[in-house]
Structure 1
């Protein structure tokens, strides 16, 4: 069986997750292995150099594969959310007076939803049934076995920019691996950062990436709305670099070290940052750095809550707002956001149920996308490919004499 990885291609990093190898006599659960690399050849979600991006992909896969003891041959690929669009489509079909609905009837109605015209250059990624309507009456759950004359279905059609996917495909193939399937990274993150109970009662997932933020609304355990916002944690880094006249690397370090939680006892303490000239250092107070971060985070939260309110409509988000992505790891982010917006906001905790992997060590929030891809597609196929150590000669030899029972 080929070794499979979850591959999350972002604007700043490429992350690969591989289930650890399992020998036949090993424990049931295996640890996951992560590989990281800088995303070279992609800028703001657009592939500008497929050869360079292929090198970044190969590096991340090699690191994860070496740690897991396998050679990755195929991937579930995740892509940035800036090109993702949701469409609500309704389709229907006459099935005969009083006849019970079968799986074939559902499949026919699902296919009819995809017959609809979409804007040029869009590729359908997935169709999600939202509601079934039997003879004009909405029903909850699976309608198979129910009797009706006409079956209608409301579907959520998830699409992405075809040109972007073609460029990503080229880079992945140049890296020497096969693509099994695609999914937007934000939806994959939702599989890990949110448990089923929250997705059922209504929740907003806010994935803060480097160049943008994806907002996904869930209700009745399904995604119902999506929006990509062109503000991310990378803009916080840029603000710090510009205001403090320092390098992006130093600004990124300040963001991760100071964040939004400054101890009052050391708020006036100065930190040294390198000058842009490369000669000498500037002294900056922690309060100054924190105020710059707060300004951009406040702007981001204003845009997020406006987006959530607009998309939610009549939906009550009982599960609140959950933060994910690298931007959610900024110190003090959830506490500041809860206070700023005066509502329940938490950072997503990993839910790895159904993946047959160890829960410890807990994967970081930056791995949620790649890990979520494995979970997302394991749910659709009902199985997760297991990565096993290749058998040596003597194992194969003994297998010739093994008695079948």
Structure 2
């Protein structure tokens, strides 16, 4: 009966997986125009994630602004009042919150205004920077691994392993000899003790040698540092030199345009302290673009994801809704009446399988969306590279033709002046 119940759920599961794949809303924005997406925040201290992804365009660069509240929370989305407040905000900005000129609901609010530029043309360069930093970290680990102390530890470990193998071989030989000659017990014991002393003496000699080598190196560093404590100061300077480029890189990235990993959307999560209408606006300044926009609030899509630091995406909410429908279908009284022989253990197992299905299904949808965005980015990037290559070749051809024409003109002029040259 359990099998029959699972088979009855199979068409619903297949329909849930094949019904619809989530795709964010995309907007085509002409040059020098702005497109905005509005969302009403009804509760204070709510988390809001703004997300945008440039699908295509002449230049994968756009200016964005997330701001609010631009209108009171009690204004409906399809009325003239909302348009009136938006027009006032466009003219006055955050000054409209002063002195309560537009009602008590627009007083004592904490406005938010975040703006910047998203550049997806430079994603490959940023990715290469990350790769270079990773290679530098690997080289630093290799340099630390090749220090005298680490080399000694590895060499000493190999020697100990080799000595241990030789000791085991000799021990096996002695055991065979003992079986052949039972009267050699005293000799065997004495020989084993001699081998142990030999291994210990070699290890002590190696330890003394490496200590002398490290003391000699520290003494040389102290002399180069200019007296007592010079080696310590030299190490401190090296640490400062290693840390300084890292901090400089961080400061540089904070002042740069937002560059992302290829295929990933730009996301920013903030806390809306005051209820009201918020908006995400994107302006196409360098050409017509197609952009995917999302505004996600925690009251609708759930709390912040601990791994990403953002409010979960719409695909996660849709997946949860579809799987939740399966739970309701499973707990339906009609289904339970039809399947009288179903046990509680069977239902708990089915629910556990549905939870696993929800997680796997959500991962599949997320990966599909990521792959689609990566392919879109690669397509646009290759088109731009091809256009730049064609333009560069065209310029080179024009310059080459101009130089060739000038050379022909110069040679003809030189031959034309032959009589004046005495010919």
More helix by share: 2
Give the structure-2-normalised TM-score.
0.21
Larger radius of gyration: 2
RCO higher in structure (CA 8 A, sep ≥6): 2
Give the structure-1-normalised TM-score.
0.22
More strand by share: 1
